[in-house]
Structure 1
């Protein structure tokens, strides 16, 4: 076995061992056993929402165990394969082993990023809101492009999404949209996307084909759970109902089922129009309002600490540029991670940016 390959294999084996330690496989197996017991209960589906939560958690934790076990087995098999190939001077098998090594490096690095998600809410579902900012109709179109990017990313990973509300702009695109992505650790993963996203391109809405810079803001919140106890007295909210609307403002149903809730003490406004009934829309809107109030509370608790930090590191500032003209590039301004294929990124291929963002956040927090 060559010294270089042997060293790479040792480094990778050590990294996987560290990951296994952080993930605490014994505790993970115990969680799986407990969830399997709950899933086998004949009364589980008496509460469909709780049943879905149990089965989802069980599937995820079983998947984590299976993923680590398979990586460990592949690493063990890889060492044997390369040793035999070297002994027999089998160039085809040696090439196969080197290819497998490269694949394992990517997969284990990806798993290592998952172990960095240890924040209080990192393991939850994510509630994402996209708002168009400066740039007029181009900004509204840009906000819709970002919405598609995140929905495509979710689809690529098999993560269910639920669009709560879309406010369409008059000419094209959207003013704002709010949706939920359901998967373990998806909040921790997507939280690094929070901030202002900048697009530079030749405007398709300018008859002189001039270059236009547009901005949209992405907000990522953890889904609120019952244990969070966000108390919202009825006297603190105003509830308005209206008819759901689609592109161009036309009504898409004949009843006042859409709901807008205003939190009077903070003037936070949330709305939901995509559920079938007014009651369902109100429940969904309340969950988004609770998420925003929970986020506000956490931000207030961190205010003193954040005041001591360099303002340039704030997630609320411009964090990524997407340039379509005069050259092609997407660059994260925090991590310096960049890609020369904006079309792929806008089609949902953002895992490289997410992994770089998670590593950057951990380094920033520990600095």
Structure 2
């Protein structure tokens, strides 16, 4: 057991060393020092946009440096803990060392995947939009299942979430939903979820218990930051207000606080009804509109940003199937990664799918280069 333990630690050390090499830790330290000098300048906030960019970059790079340093320290401490446990023959210390080994393995694997997220927007929070597609009430129900899946995933990782809007279907489920996952690299991680998801099951809404195939679409956008300069003219907007509605279309508010904004030049429509006031809903809807316009702008500027939409040839339409009948399986159609436990996946256990998707995308980029 001791030799096996040491072999795993040695493999982890090699993997972490490779991560440190890819991240170029010494260069990262120099970048942090340079950004700290910039951030300390007394005239920094004379240019708010530039200041926002500096402080944002500094925060991200400090977090990366701290994370690698902590993992390296934990790995060094683990070797000492294991040696002590072996020398003293203490079962409690041995169990502690094995639990830490498991935890470190997961953390270093996650960091290894993080090094593959090198896109311009990857470090940002994510705005996720889910909408029901073909399949009637089953599709609406599936869309709600997907929303729950992502929210539970965020909860597992202690990521903050904020629901901007939910449009409920009449019988069950949702027509669409928009929410934010507020965490570093949430966009880079969740962007591989973009595309059409397919559910096959015995429909709980069919009185003859027939098998039904339904579809839902997932769109993932990077959160807009002040430095993005997304220009929106008030004259290009049509703003409608209405009463918030809950399941079955019933009114959940006695005032017209919900807001729908139509960007007339592009036809993009966004809405928000989950905040308490009309002003708050308008501000939230504008954030989503800015994210959608940023997406469109960048796609026009550079062809490689096609990955933000399904239009890229490397993505295709359907990206994952969830089969609940006649057998149990979730399978990613791009990476071939699969799970025989759909219940766990739909409860937010999607990290293995996310990791496989990120590795697959990096491979696609490498092959195309």
Residue 247 of structure 1, CA deviation: 1.1
Cα distance change on mapping 1:97 and 1:282 into 2, 3 Å: closer
Give the root-mean-square deviation of aligned CA atoms. 3.6
Cα distance change on mapping 1:232 and 1:311 into 2, 3 Å: closer
Cα distance change on mapping 1:12 and 1:264 into 2, 3 Å: same
Cα distance change on mapping 1:278 and 1:100 into 2, 3 Å: closer
Please report the TM-score for the alignment, with normalisation by the length of structure 2: 0.83
Say whether the 8 Å CA contact 2:128–2:221 is kept in structure 1: yes
Please report the TM-score for the alignment, with normalisation by the length of structure 1: 0.84
Say whether the 8 Å CA contact 2:299–2:305 is kept in structure 1: no
Instruction: State the partner residue of 1:234.
Output: 234
Cα-to-partner distance string for 1:203-239 (whole Å, 9 max, x where unaligned): 0000111111110000000111121111122222211
Q: Which whole-Å CA distance do the structure 2 matches of 1:227 and 1:29 have between them?
A: 20
Instruction: State the partner residue of 2:271.
Output: 271
Instruction: State the partner residue of 2:29.
Output: 26
Residue 294 of structure 1, CA deviation: 1.1
Say whether the 8 Å CA contact 1:163–1:179 is kept in structure 2: yes
Residue 365 of structure 1, CA deviation: 1.0
Q: Which whole-Å CA distance do the structure 2 matches of 1:85 and 1:277 have between them?
A: 59
Cα distance change on mapping 1:357 and 1:115 into 2, 3 Å: same
1:155-194 map, 5 Å: 155-194=155-194
Give yes or no for the alignment of 1:297 onto 2:297: yes
Instruction: State the partner residue of 2:217.
Output: 217
Q: Which whole-Å CA distance do the structure 2 matches of 1:26 and 1:108 have between them?
A: 20
Instruction: State the partner residue of 1:330.
Output: 330
Cα distance change on mapping 1:197 and 1:5 into 2, 3 Å: same
Say whether the 8 Å CA contact 1:28–1:65 is kept in structure 2: no
Q: Which whole-Å CA distance do the structure 2 matches of 1:305 and 1:343 have between them?
A: 33
Instruction: Name stretches of at least 5 consecutive residues in structure 1 with no aligned partner.
Output: none
Residue 77 of structure 1, CA deviation: 3.5
Cα-to-partner distance string for 1:272-310 (whole Å, 9 max, x where unaligned): 111222222112111111111111122223448969xx9
Q: Which whole-Å CA distance do the structure 1 matches of 2:199 and 2:133 have between them?
A: 11
Cα distance change on mapping 1:264 and 1:29 into 2, 3 Å: closer
1:307-322 map, 5 Å: 313-315=313-315, 317-322=317-322
Cα-to-partner distance string for 1:144-187 (whole Å, 9 max, x where unaligned): 11111111111111111111111111111110001111111111
- The secondary structure found in structure 2 opposite 1:26 is helix
Residue 15 of structure 1, CA deviation: 2.1
Cα distance change on mapping 1:184 and 1:32 into 2, 3 Å: farther
Which stretch has the larger CA shift, 208-217 or 230-239? 230-239
Say whether the 8 Å CA contact 1:130–1:176 is kept in structure 2: yes
Instruction: State the partner residue of 2:71.
Output: 71
Cα-to-partner distance string for 1:91-116 (whole Å, 9 max, x where unaligned): 96778766654543322111111122
- The secondary structure found in structure 2 opposite 1:248 is helix
Instruction: State the partner residue of 1:117.
Output: 117
- The secondary structure found in structure 1 opposite 2:297 is helix
Instruction: Name stretches of at least 5 consecutive residues in structure 2 with no aligned partner.
Output: none
Which stretch has the larger CA shift, 132-141 or 75-84? 75-84
Instruction: State the partner residue of 1:248.
Output: 248
Instruction: State the partner residue of 1:204.
Output: 204
Q: Which whole-Å CA distance do the structure 2 matches of 1:306 and 1:287 have between them?
A: 21
Q: Which whole-Å CA distance do the structure 1 matches of 2:125 and 2:304 have between them?
A: 28
Cα distance change on mapping 1:90 and 1:119 into 2, 3 Å: same
